[in-house]
Amino acid sequence: MVSQLLKLFIISLPALARSQAQAQPNRLSVSISSSISSTEAHNNTTSTNVQYTTDLPSGSTLIPDANGGNGGIGVNPNPIVNPPTNSTMPSDTNSGNNHNATAIPKKTGARKLAGYYPVYNAEGQPLSELRYDLYDEISFFAATTNANFTIGTDSLTQNEWDTLAFDFVNSCNNHSVFPSYTVGGWGGSRYFSSLVATAENRTAFANSTITFAKKYGFKGIDFDWEYAGIQGIGCNIVSDEDVQNQQLLFKEVKSQWPEGKLSTTQSIAGIRDPNYQRLPASDVTVMAQVVDEVRIMAYDVHGSFTKTTGPNAPIRAQCADPENQLSVESAIEIYLKQGFRPEQLSLGIPGYAKSWTLTKPELTPRIVGNYTSYYYQNYTGIPAGGKFDDQPGLDVCGQKTGYGGSWLVNELVDAGFLSDDETSGGKGFTRYYDACSGEPFLASNSTLISYDDTESTVSKVIYAKSKGLAGVFFFDTMGPRDKTVKAARTALLD
């Protein structure tokens, strides 16, 4: 039986990389102390047309490599995944951030590629460096909830927010990009429950969010409540009526602002009740009827809150622990069963990597059926990550937090841990491809890093496309390499 604590762990998985870190602006993720059981989430592996070329052979032994890392599997230390069938993958001839190496598909058609712009890291990605040409919609992430119905500006002062928000909207409009904003997030969801508890409150809060959008010229609102009916960061107000009241809020927002786009960001585990059970379609009918888009946070499946290392954002979960059977495939299946139309759903792809300090340098295989996976290892802690990782301190609840172990994917290449062509490791790291999950990882004698590269990203895009989804989004715009976003765009729109 899964413990109550572990049940809490898995519902909060998508929050790890979504911190707006009110106390510390340069934060990418927050240590999590809660989640939900995923025993109802199941895998569906019969519909995908994604092809993989290799698996780590059962019984293989690890051998040292020339860089001093763990080495690779004796047969092939850096197995390369072929592009999925019928996909087109542009390859930049120089850096993964070469702006001119590949033609970018025009912004036409029903499918959309979106991204989240992290306002708390605006110094790390000035608006002048944002690749507007790669996105159809960008969400300004994130405003926060306040108890008095006003909208908070995260770690920014009001003047800083005003300047950045107006410039953001103008830049989006000038580049034919749809500008929206997000309210909530891991650290900004504390007051949602009370703000939607009564009809009077919902009317006032809806008006506040819409007025906020119109002030800056945002054309849509993304509600990222983490989580309705279930505790998130630790000090959120929570009620058993949250899911129902959330739906009534969405109905009120759409009534007051029918021309505005209404989206909601939801957990990879699906919409759950306070007992962590997946809600039937009949209980989320209003949401399915009212919202324009449901954004699935299909990441943060493993982290400091799981008993072993593992894939951050797996496509499949055949080799995962029974209590953590979450994946891209299971998430899409859950939301379809909850009554959402495929064209309402958008799949989230992380632009960041997660790292752990390994207990020992040798990787231990996990054999499940015909699969042999080296992804699931014991670990002793979470190391410091890249430049924009969490720093030890206090979260918005006053709880102590440590390093998040997060890296932007492009930082892995810049640091020399991953080759520019993404096929091999460096600086003591070896690159592995895990056929069991469909996600690569890097390992050295002391550290394992889970990440998505161009190959795994395109595989996810093609799977989402095969399911008829509205599109995909990256969290966030700082992390993924330009070549990866271009390849995703080509796969999505071709």
Convert the pLDDT of each residue in 10-28 to its tens digit. Answer: 444 444 334 333 333 333 3
| Residue 71, number of CB atoms within 10 A of its CB | 20
Mean local confidence (pLDDT), 65-89 = 33
pLDDT over threshold 50, residue 489: yes
CA distances from 387 to 30, 123, 352, 412, 487 (A): 15, 12, 12, 11, 26
Closest CA to 187 of 302, 389, 28, 312: 28
**Region of poorest pLDDT, from 26-30, 162-166, 203-207, 267-271:** 26-30
Q: For residue 324, what is the DSSP state?
A: G
CA distances from 194 to 245, 273, 302 (A): 10, 17, 31
| Mean pLDDT estimate for the chain | 84
Confidence at residue 349, expressed as pLDDT on a 0 to 100 scale: 99
Mean local confidence (pLDDT), 233-241 = 98
pLDDT over threshold 60, residue 187: yes
Confidence at residue 201, expressed as pLDDT on a 0 to 100 scale: 99
pLDDT over threshold 90, residue 399: yes
Cα Dmax for the chain: 67
Contact, 132 vs 169, CB < 8 A?
Answer: no
Name residue, tokens 């009077």. Answer: 200
Confidence at residue 174, expressed as pLDDT on a 0 to 100 scale: 98
| Helix runs in 104-260, H state only | 158-174, 192-195, 199-216, 242-256
pLDDT over threshold 80, residue 89: no
CA distances from 225 to 133, 154, 273, 365, 368 (A): 29, 15, 14, 38, 36
| Distance of alpha carbon 340 from alpha carbon 361, whole angstroms | 45
pLDDT over threshold 80, residue 488: yes
Confidence at residue 102, expressed as pLDDT on a 0 to 100 scale: 57
Contact, 140 vs 119, CB < 8 A?
Answer: yes
Confidence at residue 110, expressed as pLDDT on a 0 to 100 scale: 80
| Distance of alpha carbon 300 from alpha carbon 314, whole angstroms | 9
pLDDT over threshold 70, residue 46: no
Mean local confidence (pLDDT), 264-268 = 98
pLDDT over threshold 70, residue 114: yes
Domains (ranges, CATH) in the chain? 4-493 (3.20.20.80)
Confidence at residue 104, expressed as pLDDT on a 0 to 100 scale: 75
Confidence at residue 159, expressed as pLDDT on a 0 to 100 scale: 97
| Distance of alpha carbon 457 from alpha carbon 490, whole angstroms | 12
Residues above pLDDT 90, as percent of the chain: 77
Mean local confidence (pLDDT), 129-155 = 97
Q: For residue 296, what is the DSSP state?
A: E
pLDDT over threshold 80, residue 406: yes
pLDDT digits (tens, 9 = 90+) for 301-347: 999 999 999 999 999 999 999 989 999 999 999 999 999 999 999 99
| Helix runs in 180-231, H state only | 192-195, 199-216
pLDDT over threshold 50, residue 105: yes
Residues above pLDDT 70, as percent of the chain: 78
- End-to-end distance of the chain based on CA atoms, in angstroms? 45
| pLDDT level of residue 243 (50, 70, 90 thresholds) | very high
Confidence at residue 109, expressed as pLDDT on a 0 to 100 scale: 64
Mean local confidence (pLDDT), 378-401 = 96
pLDDT over threshold 60, residue 59: no
Amino acid at 371: Y
Count how many Cα atoms sit within 13 Å of the Cα of residue 22 in the half-sphere of its side chain.
22
Contact, 444 vs 317, CB < 8 A?
Answer: no
Strands 261-267 and 371-373: unpaired
| Helix runs in 45-134, H state only | none
Confidence at residue 284, expressed as pLDDT on a 0 to 100 scale: 98
At residue 462, the 3 state secondary structure works out as helix
Structure tokens at 56: 């780590």
**Region of poorest pLDDT, from 69-73, 130-134, 325-329:** 69-73
3-state helix, strand, coil in the chain (%, to 5): 25, 20, 55
Confidence at residue 48, expressed as pLDDT on a 0 to 100 scale: 32
| Distance of alpha carbon 343 from alpha carbon 293, whole angstroms | 8
| Distance of alpha carbon 141 from alpha carbon 222, whole angstroms | 9
**Region of poorest pLDDT, from 42-51, 204-213, 282-291, 351-360:** 42-51
pLDDT digits (tens, 9 = 90+) for 416-427: 999 999 999 999
Confidence at residue 107, expressed as pLDDT on a 0 to 100 scale: 62
Of 465 and 53, more confident = 465
pLDDT over threshold 50, residue 147: yes
Instruction: Report the residue count for the chain.
Output: 494
Name residue, tokens 């599109």. Answer: 471
Q: Helix axis angle, 242-256 relative to 199-216, nearest 10°?
A: 50
